[in-house]
Structure 1
Amino acid sequence: MMRARPYLLPSIICLLVAIGLTGCNRNPTQSTAAKKPGYNPAPAPPPPAKFDYYVLNMSWEPEFCATHNGAVECREKRGFVLHGLWPQNADGTYPSGCAQEPGLKNPAEFKDLNPDPALLEHEWRKHGTCTGLSARAYFEFTRKAVEKFSFPPIVTTLKHEDAIQTSRILSRFHVVNPLFPAGSIVLSCGNNRLTAVEACLTKDLQPTRCGEHLRSCRAKVIKVTPR
């Protein structure tokens, strides 16, 4: 039997070690795109600002459109329409305009929330940039918040202007939103007319009590403009 020549063993060992090291230096997870010249991955959004909870503000569009009939969002007869999802602190303060981040590439994708692209851009710049989310992720998150909230027929099916007790409207909101505890829904009004409803949510969109600074309209009776 022919034996391996002793003087060849060191060379063979070195060759095997070299091959092994070359294989170890390869990064199988490195993307092909990352190797291309000029490849710049999208930067991660900045971290969220400090805040305690979210306020979901839904405008009663018929009231707004009664005096802004030419507005983009008034082209369709809608009921409650998104104004915004706002980071809020328990002491009444809130972060605002936290970063210079790009907005939505296609605002029409979220026209179910609000058909006015200028308003969506404003909400992103003022409030969304404080959430630690990208613009698209922020509005997808906002859509989930809207889907968690329901609106009572006492307002949405109104055919003629009516004056209704504020407490009655608020109680109906709690009936159709049984998971929302007392103090988690507030009504907004202007000149004793319903303008919006606000709901408070945790950072993972669970119903929660609003801060002490958020209070429902003080008027005992408010007028509601029909759709």
Structure 2
Amino acid sequence: MPVFRIVIAAVLMVVAALAGAAPALAQARPGAAPGEYDFYVLALSWSPSFCEANAERTSRSMQCAGDRPFSFVVHGLWPQFHRGYPEYCQVPPPRLEGRTINAMLDIMPAPGLVRHQWAKHGTCSGARSPTAFFERVRQARAKVRIPAEFESIAEAKTVTPDEVEEAFVRANPGLTREMIAVQCDNRRLREVRICIGRDMNFTACEEIDRRACRRDRLVMPPVRPGRS
């Protein structure tokens, strides 16, 4: 066999080995049966990062330009499998009434977000109605205490993913590092994801933890001042 073919074969073997060692990406399962999942992920978005990253699109939104300043907000409560996750389990989704949307805006400050989360994730929860699903969202959010150091940030704060995880673990009895994952973009902390069992207790989630942010340091943009 010519030398260059031997080299190429060796390279391909190394690539294949590395691919096998890399963690598999979570796979969506559209149209799964409602109610079939293993646990939830409560996704808490750092609102100032979202607003900064989407400044042009959100310049007039309730979340980013309204009277109330937002810090951590609920991105969603997502049914998950231990590998992969269900989505869009009923198409079209059952109707979402305006009063249900309005009732969630204190913790999910965008009507479009509420509608999207119901269609993509709520329909997979097995909840008997949209109202029942969003009651579950509120229950999950009430279970998590935001660490005191993140409740009021008046200027940009530099953190590490480990510091954020540790702060949440300290503030929430029963939560461990295997039950939480920090998400980021190129420089900002974007989200904290906490795994919660069907019984509404914190639970370990290897796949979620494996896909956590690996950057050394992150910026948390400040919470904008409220309007009096």
- Kindly report structure 1 stretches of 4+ aligned residues shifted beyond 4 Å: none
Q: Does residue 225 of structure 2 align to residue 223 of structure 1? A: no
CA contact 1:49–1:98 (8 Å) conserved in 2: no
- Give 5+ residue unaligned stretches, structure 2: 1-32, 224-228
* Residue range with higher mean Cα deviation, 180-189 or 130-139: 180-189
* Residue range with higher mean Cα deviation, 80-89 or 180-189: 180-189
CA contact 2:181–2:208 (8 Å) conserved in 1: no
* Counterpart in the other structure of 2:143: 148
Q: Does residue 128 of structure 2 align to residue 138 of structure 1? A: no
Taking only the aligned residue pairs, the percentage that are identical comes to 33
CA deviations on 1:17-74 (whole Å, 9 max, x unpaired) are xxxxxxxxxxxxxxxxxxxxxxxxxxxxxx7342111000011001111223322322
Letter of the 1:95 partner, please give it. P
Scaled by the length of structure 1, the TM-score of the pair is 0.75
Q: Per residue, is there more helix in 1 or in 2?
A: 2
Cα-Cα RMSD: 1.7
- Deviation of 1:81 after TM superposition, in Å, equals 0.6
* Counterpart in the other structure of 2:12: none
1:119-198 equivalences under 5 Å are 119-133=113-127, 134-198=129-193
* Counterpart in the other structure of 1:48: 34
CA contact 1:154–1:169 (8 Å) conserved in 2: no
User: Which of structures 1 and 2 has the bigger CA Rg?
Assistant: 1
- Give 5+ residue unaligned stretches, structure 1: 1-46
CA contact 1:104–1:136 (8 Å) conserved in 2: no
* Counterpart in the other structure of 1:200: 195
CA contact 1:108–1:115 (8 Å) conserved in 2: no
Q: In 1, Cα distance between the equivalents of 2:124 and 2:215?
A: 33
What count of residue pairs does the alignment treat as equivalent? 181
